[in-house]
């Protein structure tokens, strides 16, 4: 159930508008330009990145409008002059956007998104595009590592209370792209159709005079298939009481504290002895991919993850940048594009030119290199190109269901070398080659 996105025109930095004003005065604002989004390196220790947020970028570009209230703010603050305000009043992105499909993996230098149009219309989109892609891709990468560690066991996103309320909705979406199966956040369910789950917290147990009373109230209201939280007081006593009240049809128990490996084994044994063989065990409590991997041999049926997920499991951004890589030498629409690039020390150099990207596979169909070039695409890579057109002449071409994106990520990750899913620190699992 989509929700209309408000104007995104002020999700930008002050200097984007001052650059626009100066370019309009200099007569260079209408030069055809190509901007690319890429990262120079993966977060430390990560072996691949995950493209997420593409669908949100399409919404943001489509809703990038300067309405009277926004123009009034800019006028009152004296941020730009009257001529620039007049230009902004009619702003509509009319260019093209190409990008890696959402859910795809990426590597250092991958041209994850390419924005083409006039300098004026493209430069304004820098901050909002980076804001979305950096956040969502960081969450999706963490989610991907966690889902890989979890194997076939489902993962529940539970991080809304650990981040900004709007970031929580975006994080739920990105987590779903990365392999999570559900969320506790109702706004994410409403906006993106992600399955939502949840039953009760410790407060519900503490509200009642006895744990038995709390369990009885929950089962009476939600049915025997509910999940009962069993670690408020004594876990063994709680499990015994839970099965007495709900019977062997009890859906699940949740453990939120203690030595999860040890407690899970004890609870599984106790449930089986009580005849509740089908009752599942769900664990929560500050999990990350390493904790999930450590529980692989435990009798755990599902994981709930919050803080570590919505903060990117230690890497809350992907350090993506948005750089001008080519521009025309005049405002003439037929003028040829010339490559441009920043020359700098300290690792901040970039490669000029409008790029294509393809992934070369070995004889077993496993990825062996990310190949990036500015000239003709080699015949053997023509069918392996990664960039697709997302926006043409300012019009969004299509929007994909999240389940399609989620499945694409599973397939993309499966085509990487096996070492991609190792949790030990390492370099990018395949090299980036420029041709």
- Look at residue 430 and tell me whether its pLDDT is greater than 60: yes
The tokens 């399409």 sit on which residue? Answer: 58
Apex 347 CA angle, 346 and 348, nearest 5: 95
Residue 333 pLDDT level (bands cut at 50, 70, 90): confident
Domains of the chain: 14-124+319-434 (3.20.140.10), 139-314 (3.20.20.70)
Q: In this predicted structure, what is the pLDDT of residue 213? A: 98
Q: Residue 126: name the closest of 138, 115, 140, 111 by CA.
A: 115
CA-CA distance, 8 to 129, in Å (whole number)? 10
Span 192-204, mean pLDDT?
Answer: 97
CA-CA distance, 318 to 321, in Å (whole number)? 9
Span 273-277, mean pLDDT?
Answer: 98
Percent of the chain residues topping a pLDDT of 90: 95
**27-44 pLDDT, tens per residue?**
999 999 999 999 999 999
For 131, the token pair is: 């804001």
Q: In this predicted structure, what is the pLDDT of residue 350? A: 83
Residue 5 pLDDT level (bands cut at 50, 70, 90): low
Residue 4 pLDDT level (bands cut at 50, 70, 90): low
Span 130-154, mean pLDDT?
Answer: 98
Write a three-state SS string for the chain: CCCCCCCCCCCCCHHHHHHHHHHHHHCCCCCEEEEEEEECCCCCCCCCEECCCHHHHHHHHHCCCCCHHHHHHHHHHCCCCHHHHHHHHCCCCCCEEEEECCCCEECCCCCCEEEEEEHHHHHCCHHHHHHHHHHHHHHHHHHHHHHHHHCCCCEEECCHHHCCHHHHHHHHHHHHHCCCCEECCHHHHHHHCCCECCCCCHHHHHHCCCHHHHHHHHHHHHCCCCEEECCCCCHHHHHHHHHHHHHHHCCEEEECCCCHHHHHHHHHHHHHHCCCCCCEEEECCCCCHHHHHHCCCCCCCEEEECHHHHCHHHCCCCCEEEEEEEEECCCCCCCCEEECCCCCCCCCCCCCCCCEEEEEECCCCCEEEEEEECCCCCHHHHHHECEEEEEECCEECCCCCHHHHHHHHHHHHHCCCHHHHCCCCCCCCCCEEEC
* 1 to 8, 194, 195: CA distances (angstroms): 20, 10, 12
178 strand-pairing partners:
none
Q: Determine which of 93-107, 214-228, 330-344 has the lowest per-residue pLDDT on average.
A: 330-344
Q: What is the pTM of this model?
A: 0.95
Span 383-404, mean pLDDT?
Answer: 97
- Look at residue 301 and tell me whether its pLDDT is greater than 60: yes
| Average per-residue pLDDT for the chain | 96
- Look at residue 1 and tell me whether its pLDDT is greater than 90: no
Residue 409 pLDDT level (bands cut at 50, 70, 90): very high
Question: Are 36 and 116 a contacting pair, CB within 8 Å?
Answer: no
Strand order in the sheet with 432-434: 356-361, 367-373, 432-434
For 410, the token pair is: 């599973």
**203-238 pLDDT, tens per residue?**
999 999 999 999 999 999 999 999 999 999 999 999
- Look at residue 383 and tell me whether its pLDDT is greater than 90: yes
Q: In this predicted structure, what is the pLDDT of residue 343? A: 83
Residue 6 pLDDT level (bands cut at 50, 70, 90): low
């Amino acid at each position: 159930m989509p929700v209309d996105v408000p104007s995104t025109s002020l999700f930008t930095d002050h200097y984007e508008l001052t650059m626009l004003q100066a370019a309009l005065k200099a007569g260079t604002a209408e030069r055809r330009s190509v901007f690319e989004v890429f990262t120079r390196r993966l977060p430390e220790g990560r072996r691949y990145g995950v493209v997420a947020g593409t669908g949100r970028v399409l919404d943001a570009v489509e809703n990038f409008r300067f309405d009277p209230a926004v123009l009034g703010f800019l006028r009152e603050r004296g941020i730009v002059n009257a001529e620039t305000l007049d230009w902004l009043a009619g702003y509509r992105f009319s260019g093209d956007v190409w990008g890696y499909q959402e859910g795809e993996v990426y590597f250092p230098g991958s041209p994850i998104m390419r924005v083409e149009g006039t300098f004026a219309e493209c430069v304004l989109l820098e901050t909002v595009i980076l804001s979305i892609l950096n956040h969502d891709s960081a969450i999706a990468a963490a989610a991907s590592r966690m889902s890989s560690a979890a194997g076939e066991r489902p993962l529940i996103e539970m991080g809304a209370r650990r981040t900004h309320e709007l970031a929580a909705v975006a994080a739920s979406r990105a987590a779903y792209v990365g392999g999570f199966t559900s969320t506790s956040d109702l706004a994410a369910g409403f906006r993106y159709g992600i399955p939502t789950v949840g039953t009760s917290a410790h407060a519900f147990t503490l509200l009642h005079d006895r744990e038995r009373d709390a369990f009885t109230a929950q089962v009476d209201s939600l049915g025997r298939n509910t999940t009962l939280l069993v670690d408020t007081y004594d876990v063994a006593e709680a499990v015994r009481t839970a099965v007495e009240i709900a019977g062997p049809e009890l859906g699940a128990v949740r453990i939120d504290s203690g030595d999860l490996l040890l407690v899970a084994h004890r609870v599984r044994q106790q449930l089986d002895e009580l005849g509740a063989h089908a009752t599942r065990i769900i664990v929560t409590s500050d999990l990350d991919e390493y904790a999930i991997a450590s529980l692989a041999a435990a009798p755990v049926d599902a994981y709930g993850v919050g803080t570590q997920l919505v903060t990117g499991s230690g890497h809350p951004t992907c350090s993506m940048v948005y750089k001008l890589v080519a521009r025309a030498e005049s405002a003439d629409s037929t003028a040829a594009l010339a490559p441009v690039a920043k020359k700098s020390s300290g690792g901040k150099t970039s490669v000029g030119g409008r790029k294509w990207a393809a992934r070369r596979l070995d004889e077993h169909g496993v990825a062996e290199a990310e190949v990036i070039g500015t000239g003709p695409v080699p015949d053997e890579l023509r069918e392996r190109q990664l960039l697709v057109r997302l926006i043409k002449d300012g019009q969004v071409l299509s929007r994909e269901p999240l389940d399609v994106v989620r499945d694409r990520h599973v397939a993309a990750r499966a085509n990487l070398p096996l070492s991609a899913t190792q949790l030990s620190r390492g370099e990018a699992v395949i090299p980036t080659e420029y041709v």
